[in-house]
Amino acid sequence: MRTKILGERIKRKEDPRLIRGGAHYVDDLKLDGMLYMTFVRSVYAHAKIKSINDAAARSVHGVVDVLRGRDLEGKLGNVPCAAGLEGLKIPDHPCLAPDEVRYVGEPIVAIVARDRYIAEDAADKVEIEYGPLPVVVNPEKALEKDSPLVHSKFADNVAFVAKLEGGDWKLVENDKSLKLIKQRFINQRLAPASMETRGVIASYSSGEDALTVWSSTQIPHLLKTQLAVMTGVDEARCRVITPEVGGAFGSKLNVYAEEGVASFASKKLGKPVKWIEGRRENMQATIHGRDQINDLEVYVKSDGVVAGLRCRIIADLGAYHQLLTPAIPTLTALMILGCYNIPNVWVETIGVFTNKMATDAYRGAGRPEATYIIERAMDLVANELNLDPAEVRQRNFPSPKDFPLTLATGVDYDTANYQKTLKKVLKASGYSRLRKEQERLRKKGKYLGIGLSTYVEICAMGPSSRMPAGGWEFGMVRVEPTAKVTVYTGTSPHGQGEETSFAQIVAEELGIPFDNVTVYHGDTSVVQHGIGTFGSRTTAVGGAAIFGAVQKLKKKMARFAAFKLKVKPGELIFDGGKLQTADGSKSIPFGEVVEAAYYARQLPPGVEPGLTEQMVFEPPNYTFPFGAHVAVVEVDGETGEVQLRNYYCVDDCGRILNPLLVDGQVHGGLAQGIGQALWEDHVYDENGQLITGTLMDYTLPKAHHFPWFETSNTETRTPVNPLGVKGVGEAGTIGSTPAIVNAVVDALKPFGVRHLDMPLKPEKIWRAMKQAAAQA
Partner 1 sequence: MKIRVKINGAWREDDVAPRLLLVHYLREVAGLTGTHIGCETSICGACTVLVGGQAVKSCTMFAVQADGAEITTIEGLAKDGQLHPLQQGFWEEHGLQCGFCTPGMILSAHQLLARNPHPTREEIRKGLEGNLCRCTGYQHIVKAVEYAAKASGK
| Residues 429-448 interacting with partner 1 (rule: CB under 8 A) | none
Select 361 or 407, whichever has its Cβ closest to partner 1.
361
Q: How far is CA 460 from CA 400, 441, 538, in A?
A: 21, 44, 7
Member of 7, 91, 278, 589 binding partner 1 (CB under 8 A): 278
Member of 187, 197, 294, 383 binding partner 1 (CB under 8 A): 197
Select 160 or 648, whichever has its Cβ closest to partner 1.
648
- Reading phi first (left if > 0) and then psi (alpha if -120 to 50, else beta), residue 105 is in left
Per-residue x/- track, 135-154, partner 1 (CB under 8 A): --------------------
Select 71 or 498, whichever has its Cβ closest to partner 1.
498
Least Cβ distance, residue 363 to partner 1 (angstroms): 10
Least Cβ distance, residue 739 to partner 1 (angstroms): 15
Q: What is the dihedral of CA 680, 685, 690, 695, to 10 degrees?
A: -40
Member of 5, 6, 14, 296 binding partner 1 (CB under 8 A): 14
Least Cβ distance, residue 11 to partner 1 (angstroms): 6
Select 283 or 461, whichever has its Cβ closest to partner 1.
283
Select 195 or 774, whichever has its Cβ closest to partner 1.
195
Sign of CA dihedral 86, 258, 360, 92: negative
Binding flag, residue 643, partner 1 (CB under 8 A): no
Member of 105, 107, 246, 338 binding partner 1 (CB under 8 A): 246
Q: What is the dihedral of CA 757, 144, 692, 260, to 10 degrees?
A: 130
| Cβ neighbours for 773, distance < 8 A, ≥ 6 positions apart | 751
Stated as kind and residue range, the H or E segment containing 548 is helix 544-565
Member of 669, 724, 735, 759 binding partner 1 (CB under 8 A): 669
Whole-angstrom Cα distance, residue 95 to residue 642? 43
If one counts every other C-beta atom within 10 angstroms of the C-beta of residue 655, the result is 17
Q: Which of 137, 117, 174 is nearest to 46 (CA)?
A: 137
Per-residue x/- track, 732-761, partner 1 (CB under 8 A): x-----------------------------
Member of 1, 155, 236, 703 binding partner 1 (CB under 8 A): 703
Per DSSP, the residues of 668-707 read HHHHHHHHHHHT----B-TTS-BS--STTTS----GGG--
Member of 244, 375, 414, 575 binding partner 1 (CB under 8 A): 244
Residue 108 near residue 41, CB atoms below 8 Å = yes
Least Cβ distance, residue 34 to partner 1 (angstroms): 11
Member of 58, 141, 279, 529 binding partner 1 (CB under 8 A): 279
Least Cβ distance, residue 17 to partner 1 (angstroms): 8
Cα–chain center distance at 408:
25
Select 21 or 570, whichever has its Cβ closest to partner 1.
21
Member of 254, 266, 349, 496 binding partner 1 (CB under 8 A): 496
- Residue 187 amino acid letter: N
Member of 519, 671, 731, 734 binding partner 1 (CB under 8 A): 671
Member of 185, 204, 249, 362 binding partner 1 (CB under 8 A): 249
- Helix/strand/coil (H, E, C) string of 596-651? HHHHCCCCCCCCCCCCEEEEEECCCCCECCEEEEEEEEEECCCCCCEEEEEEEEEE
Binding flag, residue 12, partner 1 (CB under 8 A): yes
Least Cβ distance, residue 514 to partner 1 (angstroms): 15
Least Cβ distance, residue 71 to partner 1 (angstroms): 29
Q: What is the DSSP letter of 460?
A: S
Least Cβ distance, residue 249 to partner 1 (angstroms): 7
Least Cβ distance, residue 183 to partner 1 (angstroms): 29
Whole-angstrom Cα distance, residue 522 to residue 525? 9
Cis peptide before 404 (omega within 30 of 0): yes
Member of 151, 423, 645, 667 binding partner 1 (CB under 8 A): 667
Question: Which residue stretch of 547-555, 616-624, 664-672, 678-686 sits at the interface with partner 1 (rule: CB under 8 A)?
Answer: 664-672
Member of 2, 19, 168, 209 binding partner 1 (CB under 8 A): 19
| Residues 359-398 interacting with partner 1 (rule: CB under 8 A) | none
Least Cβ distance, residue 318 to partner 1 (angstroms): 22
Question: Which residue stretch of 95-103, 169-177, 243-251, 760-768 sits at the interface with partner 1 (rule: CB under 8 A)?
Answer: 243-251
Q: Is 165 exposed, middle or buried (0-12, 13-18, 19+ CB in 10 A)?
A: middle
Binding flag, residue 514, partner 1 (CB under 8 A): no
| Residues 83-122 interacting with partner 1 (rule: CB under 8 A) | 117
Here the contacts of 552-559 (C-beta below 8 Å, separation 24 or greater) are: 552/613, 552/614, 552/615, 553/477, 553/479, 553/510, 553/611, 553/612, 553/613, 554/509, 554/510, 556/597, 556/607, 556/611, 556/613, 557/479, 557/593, 557/594, 557/597, 557/611, 559/604, 559/607
- For 457, phi then psi, to 5°, come to -125, 160
Question: Which residue stretch of 61-69, 416-424, 488-496, 632-640 sits at the interface with partner 1 (rule: CB under 8 A)?
Answer: 488-496
Question: Which residue stretch of 161-169, 327-335, 451-459, 704-712 sits at the interface with partner 1 (rule: CB under 8 A)?
Answer: 704-712
Binding flag, residue 289, partner 1 (CB under 8 A): no
Member of 694, 757, 767, 770 binding partner 1 (CB under 8 A): 694
Instruction: Count CA atoms closer than 13 A to 256's CA, side-chain side.
Output: 31
Instruction: Count CA atoms closer than 13 A to 277's CA, side-chain side.
Output: 30
Least Cβ distance, residue 291 to partner 1 (angstroms): 19
Q: How far is CA 166 from CA 240, 339, 442, 750, in A?
A: 43, 16, 43, 38
Member of 93, 376, 494, 682 binding partner 1 (CB under 8 A): 494
Least Cβ distance, residue 581 to partner 1 (angstroms): 39
Least Cβ distance, residue 677 to partner 1 (angstroms): 14
Q: Is 138 exposed, middle or buried (0-12, 13-18, 19+ CB in 10 A)?
A: middle
Question: Which residue stretch of 27-35, 164-172, 200-208, 609-617 sits at the interface with partner 1 (rule: CB under 8 A)?
Answer: 27-35
Residue 52 near residue 225, CB atoms below 8 Å = no
Strands 642-652, 709-713: pairing is parallel
Question: Which residue stretch of 205-213, 534-542, 568-576, 697-705 sits at the interface with partner 1 (rule: CB under 8 A)?
Answer: 697-705
Binding flag, residue 410, partner 1 (CB under 8 A): no
Question: Which residue stretch of 287-295, 348-356, 611-619, 691-699 sits at the interface with partner 1 (rule: CB under 8 A)?
Answer: 691-699
# residues contacting partner 1 (CB under 8 A): 56
Member of 470, 637, 664, 762 binding partner 1 (CB under 8 A): 664
| Cβ neighbours for 263, distance < 8 A, ≥ 6 positions apart | 76, 202, 204, 211, 213, 227, 230, 231, 233
| Cβ neighbours for 121, distance < 8 A, ≥ 6 positions apart | 60
Per DSSP, the residues of 306-368 read EEEEEEEEEEEEESS--SSGGGHHHHHHHTTTTTS--SEEEEEEEEEE-SSPPB---TTTTHH
Binding flag, residue 627, partner 1 (CB under 8 A): no
Binding site for partner 1 (CB under 8 A): 11-12, 14-16, 18-25, 27-28, 30, 117, 193-197, 244-247, 249, 278-280, 494-497, 660-661, 663-664, 666-672, 694-696, 700, 702-704, 706, 708-709, 732
